[in-house]
Amino acid sequence: MEWTDLAPEGPVKRRRAIVEDGAETLAFVRESPTPGYLLVIPKRHVPTIFDLTEEEAASLMRHVVRVARAVRSAFDPDGLNVFQNNGVVGFQTVPHVHVHILPRYAGDGWVPPPGAEEVSVSFESMERTAASVRSYLAR
């Protein structure tokens, strides 16, 4: 299938190996040497996760879980990363929401995702963070 990616330099036509074409979402193979590395995207152009409607977010995650289960069955990875990036500082390189499904294999050479390292943070600090987020969830 021919697909137009919204790359930083503008629209780019690329051929994509489609895994599943849903009503609102699309899953396709990412160009990678890791077998089973897929992306799931909403069909409507949405720059970041903050721009998704509640319905689009739910549809996207249902598709992500469905495809992740299929990847696990098809490739039997040792582990699996599911991640999504927003903004330049958050390592977003394509201005369209996409969720990565990355099978992991022992010795595959991928670095641990951010936050995987052990750190020491006080409970009080974690409570302040939780309270800050809770105040916005209550709105």
Query: Does the active-site annotation cover 96?
Result: no
In this structure, how many other beta carbons lie within 10 angstroms of the beta carbon of residue 70?
Answer: 16
Among the options 45, 63, 96, 98, which is catalytic? 98
In angstroms, the Cα distances linking 101 to 35, 114, 131 are: 11, 16, 31
The residues near 10 (Cβ < 8 Å, ≥ 6 apart) are none
Which residue in the block uniquely carries the two structure tokens 């098809």?
Answer: 74
Burial class (CB in 10 A: 0-12, 13-18, 19+), 81: middle
- Positions marked catalytic: 98
